Every structure is written in C-alpha cells, then in structure tokens.
Structure 1
C-alpha cells in the first residue's frame, strides 16, 4: 500500500465541521500517514494548535498570517500569533510557519502591508529555524527579491501550490532548501504541469499537498477536496515522471522529512 503525507490541508475549516473524523479515517485508509495544517490568521492558528493536540500522532500544525488576511491591523495580528510560538519550536509540535507569502491576484490595496508582514514572518523562520509554507500568487518577483535577502539563513520550506512554467520553477529552485508543493492542479486537463515538472523539477524537490477543501483533483474536481484524494495526484505524477507510484511516495516522503525535520 502507498504511504504519503499531505503537507497542506485546511482541515480546521468549517467545510469539515460535520465529518472531520471520517475525513481523517478515509485519509488513513488510503495511505496518508500525516496531515499538515496551515493557519491563515490568529483564530485559525489557535484552532489548529488545539486540533493538532487532539490528534498529535496524525495532524501537525503551522501558524502564521496568510497574505489575503493582511489588513491595516497586521502588526497586532502578528504580535498575537507570535505569542503562540512555544519556546522550543518544532520540539513542541510546530512544523512550519505558514501559510505566509504574497497575493496580488485580487487587489494590491494592502501591498505594502503584505510585503512587510511576509518579511516579518521570514525573520521568524530565521529565528526559530522552522521552515516556511509560502503562498504566492501574481507576486513571484517581489517574493523572490525578499527571500534572497535571507536565503543563506533560512532553513527551507515549501512553495505551496506550484502551477508555473519551467522558468518559474528554476527561479524557485535556486533556494536550495526549498521544495515545490504539487496537488490537484497537476491532474487538470489543461494543466501543463505533467510536462513542466519532469523537465524542470527533480523528484527530490517535490512534496504532495491537497490545499483541501480547495482544488480537488480529477476525477473529484468540483467536489470538496480531502487528503484521501492525493492518490489521484500520485498516479498522475507517476505517469508524468515515468516511475512507479511507490517511487513518488518514497521521494516525497523523504523530502518531507528533510524540509520539516520530522520522521
């Protein structure tokens, strides 16, 4: 049976309120051995820490401020989130700082605030040596410029939901301790990822993710996504790379251990 990790799932969300236990059970039955939960703000950070304490053998928390949640009060939000950090970081269960980054897709209203909030959380990563879970949409140039300032000191992380081309992949992979998160988009009919990934991204630079409840893979597209559906992503990646599903799982699991410093 295949064994994998979902490195990005919003399992704390209200979409899972009615059947969270069943979602976790289905994930386990499909081969999922761990699910990583990214926060988006103070409330979700608190929620995720509580949920991961309840299921500490299966769920792993990240805390941070998502770029789309950055407002005029971002400094107060970050100050409150930082108080949630245990003194010994990963030893207390935190696996990353996230979901952080830049998103100028809908609006640039809080562009400066996003840039400052992102950089502040990058500094947290340097201080704690916890990896970053990075969200970036319509802002890769700005993101890369900020990361370059801290590249030598950062422990690494994930560029979540990679959907780019070979040039964009190369630009991200210059950060040697970072990997690309790939999920349901790779199965979409119009996706170019099955061509881009084997050409530009070695298997030692990939991790699996759902971003559930969003972006369910084919043949579940249009439904609520969940960790069990990663099996469709694994199948598509195995076809694209010309390897077995076991190889995809083995490589991505090793990458998870390397980036997140967990077994």
Structure 2
C-alpha cells in the first residue's frame, strides 16, 4: 500500500470527479490520502471531504500565502478544531519567499502559531518552505529548543542544509513529482542522504504531476510514480519503498487508526 501524504482534494480541480479521483487512487494501490488545509476559514469543506471517504484524512491550518488573510487564527483555535477525529495534522504553514504573497513577518508569526499547536496536540506540522531555507531552519531550531514537535518538510525542493537540519531535529522529508523531473538530480542526491526512516511521498495534487504526466493535472494515484523513482534513487525496490513510506507515515501521523495498515494493495 502507498500513502499520498499531501494532496488538495478540496480544490476546484477535483470538484466534478472527486469520487472518481479517490477510486483511481485505490486502484493504483494508494490506500490512504491526507487532504491539506490552506485556510482555516475553509475547514468546513476540508472536513466534509475527509468525512465522506474512509481512507481520506485532513489537516488544519493556514498556508503562508494566506497568512495575511488569517491573522486572527490562534493556537487555541487550532487545538480545539484539531480534536475532530479526521484531523491528523496541523498546517500547511511555513514561509514562502518566492511568491511573497503575504508579509514575511505575518508568515513567520503564523508559522510559530502552528508550531505551538503541533507541540500541544502532538500532531505533525506540515511545513511549506520555498526560498526561505535559512529562516525556516532558524525558526525550527529555536522552537524545538522550547519543546519538540513532530513535523514534515513537505514537497521538498530546498537545499541539502535544510534537509539535514530537519532530520537532525526529528523531522521527516516528503518528496513530490519534482523528484521525477529530468533536471532534478540535485534533489535526488538530497533524497539519497535522507535516512530511510524519514522518507515520505506525496503528490501535492493538483500540482506538480510526476513524469510521465508532467504538465497535466496531478492526482493521488500518481504518487506511485514518484515512489518508484524514489525507490530507484535510493536503491530499493518499489514494493520496499511502498512498505517503507507507509510505515513512516503511520509513525508520524499517529492519529490515523493503525487498523488501516491492513488495507490490502489493489491492482
């Protein structure tokens, strides 16, 4: 079984065929999916999707792009809403200096609020990091000094130093379809350096479809292609990678019922 640890099933791209998208994931051997929150204000929609499907879970949080819109979100609010049985993570939150859609100070403030919520709940924080490696690393080091919290560097496309820092602080590193791109050898080299017990895979659907679907809309079924490339990159079989990343997922996302490990492979 494979797990898509990060997708956005609430996005309009899937509105017309969400049932089919979830079904195709199952046919491809993807037994579990986590649909990721980008706005706390839209949590109702995310929650409804997770409630609809037994094998879909969700997170709760404010994307750094939206940090300027949700300045009133508090750790107390995140902690309270995260008690819903389908909420298995906090975020995605972090820093994005590539698009800079929100003031950087507000991104950092929101990031720290989400860290506090992750620390208090024990739920993993899904971290968005783009062109902000030094500041992400500095905040992670400072906040970890206040008390450990679980986290994942999602859709990893940063440099090797942030990967090393994340792993040293207890974090996990998740790779998306970017890993499959021809010009991503530097990223594949980073993947080789990550301990096997810290690896995860994701789609970030509807974005970043892996080869051979690059340029098309991504969907959870395609995580199998990323996992196959990751397996080849680190020198293990595709089946071993599926088992490894699924085990890692359950170790990190502890709120997901362990009984779902027994979901059989399909296809």
Asked whether the two chains share a fold, i.e. TM above 0.5, the reply is yes
Q: Say if 1:74 and 1:113, in contact at 8 Å, map to a contact too.
A: no
Matched residue, 1:156 = 150
Listed as ranges, the gaps of 5+ residues in structure 2 are 259-267
Cα deviations across residues 150-175 of structure 1 (Å, max 9, x unaligned)? Answer: 32523312100112343332122111
Q: Which residue of 2 aligns with 1:75?
A: 71
Looking at structure 2, the residues matched to 147 and 196 of structure 1 have their Cα atoms a distance apart, in angstroms, of 19
Runs of 4+ in 1 over 6 A off after TM superposition: none
TM-fit CA distance, 1:79: 7.6
The alpha-carbon deviation at position 143 of structure 1 amounts to: 1.6
Structure 1 distance, partners of 2:190, 2:62, is 30
For the 8 Å contact 2:65–2:100, the answer to whether it is kept is no
Single out whichever of 11-20 and 135-144 deviates more from structure 2: 135-144
2:29 matched residue in structure 1: 31
- The SS at the match of 2:32 is strand
**Would you say 1:13 and 2:7 are equivalent positions?**
no
Is residue 166 of structure 1 aligned with residue 160 of structure 2?
yes
2:183, 2:204 → 1: CA distance?
A: 19
Counting only pairs closer than 5 Å after superposition, residues 111-260 of structure 1 correspond to structure 2 as 111-151=104-144, 153-176=147-170, 178-192=171-185, 193-198=187-192, 200-260=193-253
CA contact (8 A) 1:65 1:78 kept: no
Hey, what's the Cα distance between the residues in 1 that align with 2:124 and 2:243? 21
Deviates more, 1:12-21 or 1:152-161: 152-161
Task: Tell me the CA shift for residue 105 of structure 1.
Answer: 0.9
User: Shift in Å at residue 125 of structure 1?
Assistant: 1.0
* SS across alignment from 1:190: coil
Q: Check 1:83–1:243 CA distance in 2 against 1; reply closer, same or farther (3 A cut).
A: closer
The answer to whether the 8 A contact 1:45-1:81 is kept is no
Provide structure 1 residue ranges, at least 5 long, that are not aligned to the other structure.
Answer: none
Task: Compute the displacement of 1:74 (Å).
Answer: 2.8
Kindly state the Cα deviation for residue 202 of structure 1 after the two structures are TM-superposed: 1.7
Shift of 1:51: 1.1
- Distance verdict in 2 for CA 1:38–1:154, change over 3 Å: farther
3-state SS of paired residue (1:210): coil
Cα offsets for 1:105-145 (capped at 9, x unmatched): 12275111111111111111111111100001111211222
Q: Identify which range, 115-124 or 151-160, moves more after superposition.
A: 151-160
Give the count of matched residue pairs.
254
Superposition CA RMSD, Å: 1.9
Relative distance call for 1:116 and 1:145 in structure 2 (3 A) is: same
User: CA 1:168/1:121 → structure 2, altered by over 3 Å: closer, same or farther?
Assistant: closer
Alpha-carbon distance in structure 2 between the residues aligned to 1:39 and 1:67: 11
TM-score (norm 1): 0.90
